[in-house]
Amino acid sequence: MAEHRLLRDASYTKRWRSDPDAERVAKRMKKHQGEWFNFVRYEEVEPTNNLAERALRPEVVFRKIIGGHRSWSGAKKHDILRSTLATCKLRGENFIDFLEHKYEKSVTS
């Protein structure tokens, strides 16, 4: 994909070269320019990250209600458990059945 003319135009780029943040953003845009409009090329790609944001929201609310975790280890275990639960929900799988199959023993007995 051809570079955008603003990224090629030397007179334009001189303006932001003195600002490190602007230069960092411009480099990132140039590096990933082929990915910015994938949602136009591929019908299955969402134009927003709303699905991901909605998936995270219950966890953020839960963390705020309980006031965080007492340890990094506890936070990591909670994240893994909730991520697995969310994945099972998205796949339409039963969480308990998944755990029993994964660990080859009954979770409920």
pLDDT of residue 55: 81
pTM: 0.48
Instruction: Please report, for the chain, the start and end positions of each structural domain, with discontinuous segments joined by +.
Output: 5-41, 50-103
- The neighbour count for residue 93, using CB atoms within 10 Å, is 13
pLDDT of residue 1: 45
CB-neighbour burial class of residue 6 (10 A; exposed 0-12, middle 13-18, buried 19+): exposed
pLDDT tens digits along 24-81 = 888 888 888 888 888 888 888 888 888 878 888 888 888 888 887 788 888 888 888 8
